[in-house]
Amino acid sequence: MRPIDQTTVLITGATDGLGRGVAERLAAEEADLHLHGRDPERLASTADAIRGESGNERVQTHLADLASLQEVRGLADEVEASTDQLHLLISNAGIGSGRPDKTTRQESRDGHELRFAVNYLAGFLLTVRLLPLLRRSAPARVVNVASLGQAPIDFDDVMLERDYEGSLAYSQSKLAQISSANFLAEQVPAEEVTFNSLHPATFMPTKIVLEQAGHSMDSLEEGIEATLRLATSPELDGVSGRFFDRQEESAAQGQAYDEDAQRRLWELSLQLTGEPDPF
């Protein structure tokens, strides 16, 4: 990985919690930052605060609701138009299981189960659309912020129309993130782009965790350190298709390594997003 002050970074979900913490640290090291958020006022105030605290003026913002595939496409197009290099994509934005109040099944603007759409499908689409830019910027990295909470995908009911449960929807979306990263790692040479996933920490004191669990376990700093290591450490140059539990390499749920399941997920994702296969 190149020096941080020569690195262009896109972070989704950068206005709060882990995403903002990572953005603040990278800004302090003079990275060229592209911050994504879905609330215009919060996005603008976050960028202003990061510029003020770090003295780094190379901070751009991108507004998009990841529950809309059209807005995800617009986000990718806007990023491509604003920079000729992208060395690091941190796919961090997501939503939790819905507890305590939003426990019934919800759908995205495109009619897909909401957690699958926001946590997985948006990141998939953004990565595929930005893949040519990432490859031109080699060496580059994609980091998926996933979770230890993983469940195999039921390809007969991916959208959980028959048996919906919020934690299952969340866990399935996280497994999809990891499986997709593993598939991409097999398609793209590691010297061009690496694709890895991690569980940054357990029950960090983020908005999602505090709303759902009411308490935290690990510190936010622990999650920031784990994410930054995977994103920037020279020790991980050329390492691709791996899952990390905090800072240690670990094993994801078995389906993430099943080549048939990876291919089925890939083809389904292309179908749902309307994207051509880049390979």
Is 270 within 8 Å of 277 (Cβ atoms)?
A: yes
Peptide bond into 139 cis (omega under 30): yes
The type of residue at 82 is S
CA distance 18 to 65: 18
Residue found by looking up tokens 């990263």 in the block: 181
User: Which residues participate in catalysis according to the annotation?
Assistant: 170
DSSP-assigned states of every residue in 86-144: --EEEE-------TTT--S--B-TTSSBHHIIIIIIHHHHHHHHHHHHHHHT-SEEEEE
> What single string gives the DSSP state of each residue in 170-220?
HHHHHHHHHHHHHHHHHHS-TTTEEEEEEE--SS-S-HHHHHHTSS--S-H
Q: What's the CA gap between 257 and 7, in Å, rounded? A: 31
**Is there a contact between 196 and 181 (Cβ–Cβ < 8 Å)?**
yes
Residue 179 CB-half CA count within 13 A: 29
